[in-house]
Structure 1
Amino acid sequence: MTDRRRTYIDIHILQSVPPSNLNRDDAGSPKQAIYGGARRLRVSSQAWKRATRLAFKNDLGIPADQLGTRTKRVSTLLAARLTERARVSAEAATRLSNALLAHDLKVTAGKKATESAYLLFFGRSQLDAIVALVSDRASELTALADDALTKAVAELPVRAQLMAKHPIDVALFGRMVADIPALNVDAATQVAHALSVHPVEVEFDYYTAVDDEKTREEDAGAAMMGTVEFTSATLYRYATLDVQHLAENLDNDIEVTIQAVRAFMRAFVTSMPTGHQNTFAHRTVPSLVSYMVRTDQPVNLVSAFESPVRSTHGIAARAALSLAREANRTSTSFGLTPMAVSTVYDPASLAGMSSHQDRDPAAEAAQAFGPVCGLDESIDAIITAVRPRLDGSAES
């Protein structure tokens, strides 16, 4: 029998980004927040969750039919499948698609007839399951009058198809449909807004562009000009994954759950929001990634940076030491000691740093972060730690 005790994987990341505008507000400025009395750069959780979802397909190569899509065009996608697999005309498929969605799902049209009134997050395989409900009688159904068609599809379990066999991104990030609470899926992950560990100032890049086909004698001025706001920062990023809840969202399929855990652990670390990426080429990799398996509660260690890190000789190493000290404090003072820890970082970067209470900075880091590993090795170590808690072989 599967062990249902809670198991959380906390992911702590320190990542330095050069001049960039990863995630802008409605005025085009990099998003910001006040924390610890200092203005910090902020990257919203939504921005990094979308980057993670895109990484599943683009970087990890997970097939699209195993992933979800968030769209208002659910009726259009369903109609296209009906046309292809049920061999009905596009017009008939659209009519049948609308009937299927309107009764059991109460999906209503938006401003455009081809779009629903709200975004719906679902798996492509779930649409295939809906098609399977009617594929062998699609011609019969589309020949009915509107009232008869509505009555005929009323008994079909359309909603049930969207509540089973969730793709991994729906299982991870959840689904909220205010108009149809029965379609809601509680997320197995929580992602914090990334914050800079130090104060930031927003700067401006003034740019001009010239017309290549004009001579200097004809016009020496710029054809256009403008500004882009940017900043640079060392970010603290945090996410937590409830492994048992993820398994529940994935119909308790252990191997699929392990696949999803592995995918999230890598994609969240290596992904990057794409705001102004062509302008700034800001894609970096983290200086520290620490995976911590907990059996009590998730612990966001952002308090390590409530007092902002200030330095003119590099931020990342000092931030790593602050993070280690906060991790050790939560263990010592609150008894919140991780069951397993695996970390990617460079201990040599801590050499020569100041200590306190006669502690060696490298020893403090080793206590908090465990042995040094590469990313693949760290992920494997965490999978090894959590698998027994999924398959029921863990000791009680």
Structure 2
Amino acid sequence: MTIDAATRYLSLHSLTTFAHVLLVRDDAGEPKTSTYGDAERVILSPQSQRRADRIHLRDEANLGTGPLAAHAWGVRTREWAVRVAEALRDEHGWEAQAALEMARTSLRGVGLNFGSTPNTAFLTKVMVFAPEKTGSTLAQIIQEHRPELEAWATAVADAATAAAEAKSKGKKKGKGKAAATADEAMDGEADSPEAEGEASAREEKVAPMPARIKSRLICGLAPADAIDIALYGRFLAEVASAGNVDGAIQTTTALSVEPASIVRDFFSAADDFKIARQRVGTDFTDALARLNAAAPFDAAAPEASDGYALDDRGAGMTGHQNFFNGTFYAHSVLDRVQLRRNLINGGMSPEDAERAAQDAELALVTAFVNAVPSAKKNTTAAPGTLPKLVLAHVGPRPYNYAAVFEKAIHRHEGVPSLIAAERLLEHHAMITRKQHVDPGTVLSYDIATTKYLDGLRDAGNLGPTEVDHPAELSPYCPAGQPA
């Protein structure tokens, strides 16, 4: 399929109703909110949505069920030095500590900075998004240039030692004369600017990493054919020449179409031993036998506690957590031209890039429909939620419909999700008429919304084509032929 100016952008819109969830939190653990239009709204950050989509894409690929199963992926982590060291050890027989030190020194040589505490000494200060095979790729380059890199690493270490000694001597200037004299005698030389200058000169004489090796290592960090880097992009300020990628996906902050509805939920947790004692009304120190008994009196009563009394009153612990309810408008855009450009720049042929781009688009629309941030999933089951309405359409530019909900929908007006669907589709009908764009496709997982769509269709007012499967939202999957 040819991507021309009129079909460059695929705009995706959804309305999803969540009940009693906490999909994203601020630094205080509270739901994120923002005042928009005439009311305060609950919001879902773009980062949480994008991560949910990316994890869904990869999980589907790992299961071999998605269109991207055969494609390479990226990994975003601070642990690349550890991964390179593992490859040096396992694939090239290096001693573990020597591998760690060489991996860190080599990555420093290309411009990456590391933490300064014992726990972060081998972690880069920023996360680096690179192809999943980067650890092995960089290890192979280091192995091929081992003698030269070891000599360079030794020079770097010597320079660092000299600089540390010079700095230590500089601190002695503030001491008294007697103490300074004693220190000088202990060091065997006078504390002088000449000594500091000599140390600095030694440090400055250390050559940077050999250019040809540095160039190869930077190429090893390049995005290559990682499909998620082509989709979401990356920015690596510390190593600009490593190949920054403009993402092909735009994501807006999802917002509730109604005023913020936050519930302060009080909870109590039971202590199993305390409950076991409460069942028989006796203060026992060892209630395990009664806890495991089929009936409260099936087990013999243990001896009473000796020297202290156990309190059987109340719950084991109590607390509170805020949750929210509401229907959220979410919006993402795929720049179909940028995606192909990223894939070609990563080394794909135009033919391979076209196939990969089509696979990525089919997978993306499926993730947009199905992916939900997983925070508090065990106590909310939020990932099981499906959207009530999804709208997809192509055009010469992105179309963000968030302004449709500048006026919040209040409950006395009716069901917020249904009113939101009416507003969204009416606005889209106006845009398609005035901008002369294709009306696209629409998908619903809600009975009331489906009946509303049926009414529009019967009246001849339903512009988008209704589909039954997420992949059909993409122009690459004709209606009636689910991927």
After TM superposition, the score normalised by the length of structure 1 is 0.84
Q: Within 2, Cα distance between the matches of 1:336 and 1:23?
A: 37
Distance in structure 2 (CA, Å) of the matches to 1:173 and 1:21: 25
Alignment of 1:37 with 2:132, yes or no, is: no
Q: Distance in 2 between matches of 1:222 and 1:278?
A: 21
Q: Using the alignment, how far apart are the partners of 1:352 and 1:93 within structure 2?
A: 64
Partner of 1:230: 323
User: 1:104-143 counterparts in 2 under 5 A?
Assistant: 104=110, 106-111=111-116, 112-136=120-144, 138=146, 140-141=147-148
Q: Looking at CA atoms only, which structure, 1 or 2, has the larger radius of gyration?
A: 2
Contact kept, 8 Å, 1:325 with 1:364, in 2: the verdict is no
- Displacement of 1:370: 2.2
Post-superposition offset of 1:36? 1.7
Deviations 1:195-253 (A, max 9, x none): 11111221111011121112235412122110010111111110001011011111241
2:468 alignment counterpart: 373
Is the CA contact (8 Å cut-off) linking 1:171 and 1:250 kept in structure 2? yes
**How far is 1:293 from its partner?**
1.3
Unaligned runs of at least 5 residues, structure 2: 63-67, 157-206, 282-310, 345-349
Q: Do the aligned residues in 1 keep the contact of 2:389 with 2:449 (CA within 8 Å)?
A: no
Q: Which residue of 2 aligns with 1:208?
A: 268
Instruction: Give the whole-Å Cα distance in 1 for the aligned partners of 2:82 and 2:247.
Output: 26
Deviation (angstroms), 1:348: 6.4
> 1:181 deviation in Å?
3.1
| C-alpha contact (below 8 Å) 1:10/1:292 kept by paired residues | yes
Please report how far the alpha carbon of residue 172 of structure 1 lies from its aligned counterpart in structure 2 after TM superposition. 1.3
Match of 2:103 in 1: 97
Secondary structure in 1 matching 2:112: coil
- For residues 279 and 351 of structure 1, the distance between their equivalents in structure 2, rounded to whole angstroms, comes to 29
Give the aligned residue type for 1:108.
N
1:332 and 1:219 mapped to 2: Cα distance?
A: 70
Q: Partner residue of 1:286?
A: 387
Match of 1:307 in 2: 407
Q: SS in structure 2 opposite 1:66?
A: coil
Is structure 2 residue 270 aligned with structure 1 residue 262?
no
Alignment of 1:272 with 2:279, yes or no, is no
Query: Which residue number in structure 1 is paired with residue 259 of structure 2?
Result: 199
2:321 corresponds to 1:321: no
How far apart, CA to CA, are the structure 2 residues paired with 1:374 and 1:162?
Answer: 37
Deviations 1:350-393 (A, max 9, x none): 5887xxxxxx74468953422333223334x34569xxxxxxxx
Residues 321 and 364, structure 1, Cα contact 8 Å, conserved in 2: no
SS of alignment partner, residue 14 of structure 2:
strand
Corresponding position of 1:171: 230
Contact persistence 1:110–1:118 (CA under 8 A): no
1:146 is displaced (CA, Å) by 2.2
Q: How does 1:50-61 map to 2 (within 5 A)?
A: 50-61=51-62
Kindly tell me: are residues 260 and 131 of structure 1, through their superposed partners in 2, closer, same or farther at Cα, counting changes over 3 Å? farther
Which of residues 442, 461, 483 is equivalent to 1:343? 442
Q: Indicate the percent of aligned positions where both proteins have the same amino acid.
A: 26
Greater share of helix: 2
Asked if 2 retains the 8 angstrom alpha-carbon contact of 1:321 and 1:365, the reply is: no
What secondary structure is seen at the aligned counterpart in 2 of 1:180? helix
- SS at 1:244's partner residue? helix
Q: Distance in 1 between matches of 2:115 and 2:127?
A: 10
> 1:15–1:286: 8 Å Cα contact kept in structure 2?
yes
Shift in CA distance, 347/65, structure 1 to aligned 2, threshold 3 Å? closer
Return the alpha-carbon distance in structure 2 between the equivalents of residues 64 and 211 of structure 1.
49
User: How far 1:52 moved relative to its partner?
Assistant: 1.2
8 Å contact from structure 1 (residues 330, 336) kept in 2:
yes
Aligned counterpart, 2:151 = 144
Gaps (5+ residues) in structure 1?
A: 354-359, 386-396
Tell me the equivalent position of 2:432: 331
**Aligned position for 2:174:** none
Moved more, 127-136 or 302-311: 127-136
Q: Distance in 1 between matches of 2:272 and 2:246?
A: 54
Aligned residue in 1 for 2:200: none
**1:169: Cα distance to partner?**
1.5
